[in-house]
Amino acid sequence: MVNLTINGIAVQAPPGTLVIDAAKKAGIEIPAFCYYEGYSLQAACRMCLVEVEKMPKLQTACTLPVGEGMVVRTEAAAVVKARKTTLEFLLTNHPLDCPVCDKGGECELQDMVFRYGAGESRFTELKHHVDEKQWSPVVFYDAPRCILCYRCVRVCDEGMGVGALGVVNRGVLSEIAPSHGDHLECDECGACIDICPVGALTSGTYRYQTRPWEMQHVGTTCTFCADGCKTTLGIRNEKIVRGNNRDQSGINGEFLCVKGRYAFDFQEHPGRLTAPLMRINGKLEEVSWSKALAAVAAKFSEVKSRGGQFGVIGSTKTSNEENFFLQKFARQGLGTANIDHRRSGDIVTLIDALAGKTDALGSVQDAYLMKASLVVGTDLAQEHPLLAFQLRANFRHHDSHTYTVAAGPVREDSYSVAQVRAAAGEEMAGVESLRDRLAKEPELLVLFGASVKGEALRKLVAFVGSLGIAKVKYICLMDYSNSRGAMDMGLLPDLGPGYKPVSAAGLALPDMMASTGLDVLWIVGANPLARHELKSTGAFVVVQEMFLTETAARADVVLPASSAYEKGGTVTSGTGEVQRLHSAAKTMGAKPDLEIMGLIAKEMKLNLGIWANANVFEEIRREVRGYNIPLPTIATGQAVQTSPLNGRVAVASRPDLIQPAGNTLFTSGSLGKYSKKLTSVMEYPGALYKPQY
Amino acid sequence: MTFSPELEKRIEKLLASYPSNRRKSALIPMLMYAQDETGYVTRELVEEVARRIGIPPVQVDEVVTFYTMLWRKPRGKYHVQVCTNISCLLTGGEELYEHTCKKLGLGHRETAADGVFSLEEVECMGACSWAPAVQINYDFYHHVTPEKLDQLIDDLKKVH
């Protein structure tokens, strides 16, 4: 440890620590704009100048490593004066349009000038003005506000691996420029906007909508992919106006992709259903909730009493509570085992193959910490942007080794130690070709996509197991926000909650669709009719849905459901991390799926327990292994990883039922198309892959 | 975008002279050579150089917009550069520059409509001992007087 003194306080720090970080640990703030933890050092803004004894000039604390016996003063007269003049310089051409600037109220420049700045400027020259530019549907740039801290340039190049931003011109004319002349060809993730300390980069969804202090901030879990990013939704007048991860908490820290940051607008799409629909004389017509619920309950009771066939299809986007309650409703309330959902990853085989091993399921944190990663059969940057971000950060900070075995070019190619091309389903040969190199790794995280399933997955686990690596973890990649939760909660015809086998297996999803004997098909938040034909033409179809999808259009009763941003509960990410949902907005007329199911149960006079999130979750905690998690942790917006089972799964997995959606960064099954922002951004497939150096 | 065989050869040699992970170093010479052939740095050239070096085009833009010797608009066949830094200034560089402006009818960083001449007022070109100095393309002219300059330009006009 290195001993130094900062402002008279004795501080100890490991060698190599920067003075700015050492001071922060000691509770001393050194102001800075360009310094940003985790990215390369820039020393561009000169705000962090400090006085160091025996050094002739003021030093930038953001690039100065601690030294033994160093005496640092952060509030010396020379430092105070330097900060004042630095800010005066930064404001030379700054328009000071704080009253109309999006950033006003949460602007770092504003805060710094308030705290350290001079009351007046000595500059009397005309300010250099450049008009605002739009680079994409979601990114706007206002050059005069820019203080050229290079944060956006670095987060795009280093953090995202895209490198779509740069600084052009020089001197007073310097400004940030997008990748292709006048427009951006990039991920449109908005990380540059989030990281901008001033209002230079603004977001197409949020700009000029509100003042930051007029919003309520609701931290919830993104409802798009299975990475389970925490997103903080900014609400004004009950309308979601912004998505970011304001406090950088949760498993994703500062990261969000285009979906998490902008695609929340599906919630207010004009196509949202706001009243129950019932088929009257062959046409769907709006009816009251009581009429719709009574009709559903009457039909359910009638079919149940005469021993008719039910089919129940659950969702990969509804909460754990809803999924648990749905399977309970189906099994106990309706007495059917025909329950399934659309599977997108072979977690069943993975759990079975890992029987007896503990701590073998990888988390989002592991992607950042494990010394080596093997990415098989997936394009992470497209399908799992958070995990891709974590792997890149791991490489940047820890020089981790990444091996890719995939069909096409993937973004990991630019830094991975080995790139093997293998067609989907034939990855195993590629993995085996890496045997010698993999065997030398002390730790390995294996991330595999949906093409690795069934026997191929068993082979992969056996192969990696045979390498003798001390610590191996696996991540089974899945499609949607609660794909994993749907599995864990037992939305399966042959497995109940916690992968416990049921006495008599029911029909799987395609079998239900192909069956001609269904009397009732109950679909909660899924759209199977987009891909399957319903052979039971006479079946009474009940659909709980946000939009009039292909499935809802065929229904006899459609019950309008709330979106994930309009309800509470928990979801489980693909890596098995349980997080809370928090209600951020409301859609008039729609109800959360749990409430809808509860009301149907009530109407049918079934006793399935209290249909409140807290009560159902208590039941999950008792029933499902691994879900007995500390409630305060998830209540405070953090994630807890579950391990649902440690032992053999009694039934054979059905790899044929795994049907991934193959989403890209800009699509998300049937939900993404309802987001105006997500559909407005241009996709440049080539731009997703940085050429190799 | 295609280059002449000579330029291709030059670029090949250039790229080979850096380690494979330091190919970015070839950026400036590559742009200079290419500019001599294409006259100026076109958008097409930026994308081409970016592709060959393996960096995003914006990183080429950063360099192109920083250095004044890289032109983003057409330059004349004869690019006249007059130094007005201290040594040349003391020996009549300023007057020489003004004279050149009048002679060519051009201002700083302007190109004649017929594309024969362009003019630039430049900073020190390291020819202080022979001030005032003028550079036309890659050739230096020393102890230049307005008369000598007139002669020079008239000769070039004839050659052209």
Contact flag B55-A168 (C-beta cutoff 8 Å) = no
Chain A residues inside the 8 Å CB shell of B43 = 181
Q: Which of A148, A170, A172 to mutate to test the interface with B (most CBs of B within 10 A)?
A: A170
Q: Where in chain B is the domain with CATH 1.10.10?
A: 5-66
Tell me: pLDDT of B99 over 60.
Answer: yes
Contact flag B57-A179 (C-beta cutoff 8 Å) = yes
Tell me: pLDDT of B52 over 50.
Answer: yes
**Strand order across the beta sheet in which A49-52 lies:** A9-13, A2-6, A70-73, A49-52, A59-60
What is the model's pLDDT at position A688? 61
Quickly count: other Cβ atoms within 10 Å of residue A278's Cβ: 20
Contact flag A166-B24 (C-beta cutoff 8 Å) = no
Say which of B20, B62, B64 has its CB closest to residue A167.
B62
Cα dihedral A291→A292→A295→A301 (10° resolution): -120
Angle between helices A613-623 and A320-328 (to 10 degrees): 70
Q: Which B residues, 18 through 57, put their C-beta within 8 Å of a C-beta on chain A?
A: 20-21, 23-24, 43, 51, 54-57
Per-residue model confidence as pLDDT tens digits over A416-473: 999 999 998 889 999 999 999 999 999 999 999 999 999 999 999 999 999 999 999 9
The ranges of chain A with pLDDT < 50 are: 691-693
Say which of B58, B62, B66 has its CB closest to residue A164.
B58
Q: Where in chain B is the domain with CATH 3.40.30.10?
A: 78-159
What is the model's pLDDT at position A356? 85
Quickly count: other Cβ atoms within 10 Å of residue A547's Cβ: 21
Q: What count of CB pairs under 8 Å joins A to B? A: 48
Residue with tokens 């129950």: A276
What structural domains does chain A harbor?
Answer: 2-90 (3.10.20.740), 277-344+482-659 (3.40.50.740), 347-477 (3.40.228.10)
Chain A residues inside the 8 Å CB shell of B64 = 168
Strand B110-111 to strand B117-122: parallel, antiparallel, or no bridges (unpaired)? antiparallel
What is the model's pLDDT at position A685? 61
What is the model's pLDDT at position A692? 42
What is the model's pLDDT at position A233? 95
Contact flag B57-A163 (C-beta cutoff 8 Å) = no
* DSSP annotation string for A270-325: TT---S-EEEETTEEEE--HHHHHHHHHHHHHHHHHTT--EEEE--SSS-HHHHHH
Q: Which of B44, B46, B58 to mutate to test the interface with A (most CBs of A within 10 A)?
A: B58
Chain A residues inside the 8 Å CB shell of B66 = 168-170
Chain B residues inside the 8 Å CB shell of A168 = 58, 61-62, 64-66
Instruction: Kindly state the DSSP code that residue A683 receives in the 8-state scheme.
Output: P
Q: Classify residue B54 as left (phi > 0), alpha (psi -120 to 50) or beta.
A: left
What is the token pair recorded at A619? Answer: 């039941």
What is the model's pLDDT at position B2? 87
In the beta sheet, which residues pair with residue B79? B118
What is the model's pLDDT at position B21? 83
What is the model's pLDDT at position A687? 59
Helices (H) and strands (E) in chain A, counts: 22, 28
Chain A residues whose C-beta sits inside 8 Å of any chain B C-beta: 157, 162-170, 177-181, 690-693
Say which of A162, A170, A180 has its CB closest to residue B57.
A180
Percent of chain B, pLDDT > 90? 86
Task: Name the 3-class secondary structure at A237.
Answer: coil
d(CA A378, CA A390): 15
Say which of A166, A181, A692 has its CB closest to residue B62.
A166
Residue type, A10: A
Long-range contacts of A611-614, Cβ-Cβ distance < 8 Å, separation of 24 or more: A611/A325, A613/A319, A613/A321, A613/A568, A613/A569, A613/A570
What is the model's pLDDT at position A643? 79
What is the model's pLDDT at position A690? 56
Contact flag B55-A693 (C-beta cutoff 8 Å) = yes
pLDDT band at B1 (very low <50, low <70, confident <90, very high): confident
Q: Span B5-66: which CATH code?
A: 1.10.10
What is the token pair recorded at A159? Answer: 């953090």
Chain B residues inside the 8 Å CB shell of A161 = none
Q: Classify residue A499 as left (phi > 0), alpha (psi -120 to 50) or beta.
A: left
Q: Into which CATH architecture does domain B78-159 fall?
A: 3-Layer(aba) Sandwich (3.40)
What is the model's pLDDT at position A681? 87
